[in-house]
Amino acid sequence: DFRSTSKQDFDIVSQLYLQSIKHRINSLRLSTDDDETPEQIHLFHSYGWNFNKFPYLRSLSLHRIRFDKTTNNTLSKCFHLTNLTLTKCCFPYTQADIRHFMNDIWNLPKLKYFYLDTYTKYDVSFPALTNSSSSIEHLSISGFCNLDRLLVRLYHNTPYLRYLTVNLDCIKKKLQVSIRSINELNLSFSHDRKNIIENFLQHVPNLHRLKIEIDSIEIDGYVWEKIIRNYLPKLEKFQLKMKITVENQNNNQILLNSFRTRFWLEEHQWFVEYHFNTNDCNRFAYIYTLPYSFTDFNIFLPNRFESTCSNDKHYCPYDINFHNINHLSIKLPACLHILLLIERCHRLTSLEISRSENMSNEDTQLEIQTLLDRTHYLHSFKFNSYSKFDYFYENEPSMNEKVIPIVMRSPPIRRVNLLGCDTWFTGEQLIQLSRSPLMTHCQTLLIKVKKRASKPTFYQFNRSPQ
């Protein structure tokens, strides 16, 4: 696993050790992250390595890789791969090149799991496939503006598919043919796609599990009950999360009551919880099934919670230990509940803190120190202090109010990101920052440096651990 590996360590392993252990490697992860591992894939190739030189390679994960012909050609020859994960990868190709690449993937004879999260400079549609895969069972696709060509022939090109993850915002046409092989479905959408969702679910009659995340659209319990009764007779697990806008507080109970019918409480025992911040000017609220099963949990304290479960306390967020949290974003000031939460997060490795505009420098420094004192195994720290003014200009009033997170104590943080700080660092401030305990174990520092008689420049500093 070469993610977050320093160039020095990467060079040593690639040049001195890979050759002797290549027959024992069955999993490989590479990352070309601009922050910590820039150009890693090119270094990998420059040392004479490619993926098909590992005869027992079964799992390959590439992060932020910019695909070129070399990477594409070697990947297409990895005939023993069973798992392929491509996250935040870029395809600087034409539509024809992307079609060629996808057909090569569908031609890998043993591939079972394929996860693709891509981005391109221009909007690109998923291509029409000519190859078929008799091995792919688990498919997750995102980053394309249109997935119609994938879905219209999915039953033909991927006949043994069991699990599918897609964003319904990328589906423009209704399905015409049922996809009976799928029994697990993970969907998301943020536009008014009620007709698309009903049509889609109508064509997956063998679904056992449905996980769906909706942004800014309200679909009440009566509608979901109708869809499930009519189209999903085999559904066993239903996981739902909706972010909605509350126009009237009286609608809260109406929406929650729609999930209190016999269908929800007795037949399936599917319970939902509803929470919202009474002081939130945006009037955002969240409703989700219990137990909570999504990656991100959005909470703006103080909150009001209510659920359809008879034992509300069992699901009260203040009583739950969030054992699996690894990243936490906090906007100051932090309340007592946040401090208690951090103390229970023994797997927390990444912390992002944002400063409120009306918060003084002294209070900000004190709260940062209080939060850091309660962390255990922090790996990454990010601080944001954007002001409402454009801080790129030296003469703006906002430049007189800067805050640099100089703390008295710090856990052994390896990565510090201050690009969101409303400060262009000068020589004196750099010296001040270098003496901070934040820098004691830091290997990667991201800051903005103001150079004399020149335009401001972004700098990145890397160093090997002591």
312 pLDDT exceeds 70?
no
* Alpha-carbon gap, residue 158 to 162, rounded angstroms: 9
Query: Is there a domain that residue 232 lies in?
Result: no
Of the pLDDT bands very low, low, confident and very high (cuts 50, 70, 90), residue 420 is confident
From 420, 446, 397, 371, select the one nearest 433 (Cα to Cα): 446
Six-digit token pair at 140?
């997750």
Q: Does residue 317 fall inside a structural domain? A: no
Across residues 221-229, what is the average pLDDT? 96
Residue 137 has what pLDDT?
97
Give the pLDDT confidence score for residue 5 in this predicted structure: 74
Q: How confident is the model at residue 391 (pLDDT cuts 50, 70, 90)?
A: very low
State the virtual CA torsion across 311, 260, 210, 289 in degrees, nearest 10: -30
Assign 460 to helix, strand or coil.
strand
Say if residues 95 and 73 touch (Cβ distance below 8 Å): no
User: Span 189-205, mean pLDDT?
Assistant: 87
Q: How many CB atoms lie within 10 A of CB 257?
A: 13
User: Which residue do the tokens 């993970």 mark?
Assistant: 186
Over range 66-81, report the average pLDDT: 83
More confident residue, 262 or 385: 262
- Count of structural domains within the chain: 1
Please write the tens of the pLDDT for every residue from 104-152: 999 999 999 999 998 766 678 888 899 999 999 999 999 888 898 888 8
CA distances from 219 to 194, 224, 290 (A): 8, 7, 17
Question: Which amino acid, residue 185?
Answer: L
Position 257 scores a pLDDT of 92
Give the pLDDT score at 399.
37
Distance of CA 146 to the CA centre of its chain: 21
In a domain, 272, yes or no: no
**Looking at residue 440, what is its pLDDT?**
84
What's the whole-number mean pLDDT along residues 358-375? Answer: 85
DSSP lists the bridge partners of residue 27 as 59
Average pLDDT over the chain reads: 82
Quote the domain boundaries for residue 409.
Answer: 328-466
Does 385 fall in a domain? yes
Whether 412 is in a domain gets the answer yes
Rg over alpha carbons for the chain, rounded to the nearest Å, is 25
Q: What phi and psi values does residue 244 have, to the nearest 5 degrees?
A: -130, 165
Question: Which spans in 288-357 are helix H?
Answer: 336-344
pLDDT band at 436 (very low <50, low <70, confident <90, very high): confident
Least confident of 16-25, 193-202, 315-324, 418-427: 315-324
Using alpha carbons, select from 416, 409, 425 the residue that is nearest to residue 463. Answer: 416
Query: Which H/E stretch holds residue 420?
Result: strand 415-420
Question: How many residues in total does the chain contain?
Answer: 466
Two tokens, residue 462: 């890397």
CA 121, 124, 126, 129 torsion: positive or negative?
A: negative
At 42, is the secondary structure helix, strand, or coil? helix
pLDDT score at 321: 56
Residue range 423-434: mean pLDDT, rounded: 80
In a domain, 400, yes or no: yes
